[in-house]
Amino acid sequence: MQVTVPQSRVHGDAQVPPSKSYTHRAILAAGYSDGALVRHALKSADTRETMGAVEAFGGDVVEVAGVLEIDGFGGSPETPPDIVDCGNSGTTMRLAAGAAGLVDGTTVLTGDVSLRSRPQAPLLDAIEQLGGRARSTRGNGQAPLVVEGSIEGGAVTIPGDVSSQFISALLMAGAATDEGVDIELSTELKSAPYVDITLELLADFGVTAERTEAGYHVEGGQTYEPSDGEYAVPGDFSSASYLLAAGALAGDPEVEVCGVYPSAQGDSEILGILEEMGADIDWHRDDGRAVVRRSELSGTTVDVGDTPDLLPTIAVLGAAADGTTKIVNAEHVRYKETDRVSAMAEELAKMGAEIEEQQDALIVHGGESDLVGADVEGLGDHRVVMSLAVAALVADGETTITGAEDVDVSFPGFFDTLYDLGVSVSRD
């Protein structure tokens, strides 16, 4: 699908969709339980893959009046009757690979072309260290993956600078092992707030896990059981970043973003980043509202080691700001749905941005950039699509984005929301 977005001013209220990160974890945690309700879950392409994984392991997921009723597999996943296809969802594959380590049998996991290019070797090695068998069918550490259990727990050493999802997968599965799991990190942990999300959600499901001096620890033999048998998913700060950026660049008079309550999400840093760049923004934490108005922004330096999903948004803000914006500690952002460092450099350059791409950084010279409408590519990445749509709001002319349907991964109603804010979005 192609979407054309003209230069526009935006105004009004916008509701943030539920968090994709919390939804993935909540669905699988309910799968690990005997049964639970998940309220306010994000229904997207990615989270449907996690629902499918729970069903593949012997659970059942039914939506009733907007609530997910999940009949879990009680900490003992069954051998899937077929290959587990995770689509484009890296979170599904990694969390499901952890669960597969508990199966007394063989699980095969695969995905689309993009997912089959993403690194999985550290998690496969971790499962081997815990007594399971795990391999890449192509011998390159990438899907398709074959995992054979069942692991009983123990100690494992794993790098922290490839994906925090590996740690989350081991913690979630480790609670259902006999011995529990001790995780020692051999390198610095990137995207640490995503593990904090996992710890927070585990606690809400009655599971104790903790940070240790060397890494993380989770006791074995625990039972997943949320309070009153249900869990409510909070709003998503990654998705909120596009709406907040739209308000800072084109809000006239203002955009009110609803559903942004404080949580462990690292991407809540977008509010501080906007303030540092000079945005006129008020965050009413108790009400979960952020009001932002069109502002003259200045360049800044942002370390995205813990917030990789914000890189596309910050790149757009930098392209429209005065001065230079440096996005650093960014190499791990290359291993997402696409290489987001290169993707943003290439696509924003088509719109007139002056950008330097480095292996570990993206340097955006906003003072030398004059954004103009252009034909750009989403490159199979929902975050690239949404960030380019925000850039289009301040680009002279119209911008046409190819592959715009990929917003279904995390924010299915994104373009409807832009329309409601006053943007004359057209779809082909």
Give residue 277's Cα distance to chain centre. Answer: 24
Residue 164 in marked binding region: yes
The answer to the question of whether 120 is labelled as a binding residue is no
Decide: helix, strand or coil at residue 426.
Answer: strand
* Residue in 85, 236, 306, 309 annotated catalytic: 309
Yes or no: say if 19 and 268 are a contact pair by the CB < 8 Å rule.
no
90 labelled ligand-binding? yes
340 is in an annotated binding site: yes
Q: Which amino acid is at 158?
A: I
Consult the annotation and say whether 94 binds a ligand: no
Any binding-site annotation on 309?
A: yes
H/E/C letters for each residue in 29-84?
HHHHCCCEEEECCCCCHHHHHHHHHHHHCCCEEEEECCEEEEECCCCCCCCCCCCE
Question: Is 165 assigned a ligand-binding role in the annotation?
Answer: yes
Q: Is the separation of the CB atoms in 2 and 400 below 8 Å?
A: yes
Q: Is 163 annotated as a binding residue?
A: yes
Q: Is 412 helix (H, G, I), strand (E, B) or coil?
A: coil
Task: Please indicate whether residue 112 is annotated as part of the active site.
Answer: no
Question: CA 128, 133, 134, 140 torsion: positive or negative?
Answer: positive
Tell whether residue 168 is among the known ligand binding residues.
no
211 marked ligand binding residue:
no
Query: Please, which residues have CB within 8 angstroms of residue 49's CB and are 6 or more apart in sequence?
Result: 85, 86, 87, 88, 89, 92
Coil, helix or strand for 145?
strand
Is residue 66 part of an annotated ligand binding site?
Answer: no
CA separation for the pair 60, 35 (Å, rounded): 9
Q: Tokens standing for 398? A: 């119209």
Pairing of the two strands 84-85 and 106-110: parallel
Active-site amino acid positions: 309
Binding positions for 3-phosphoshikimate are 20-21, 25, 163-165, 191, 309, 336
Binding positions for phosphoenolpyruvate are 20, 90, 118, 165, 340, 383
Binding positions are 20-21, 25, 90, 118, 163-165, 191, 309, 336, 340, 383
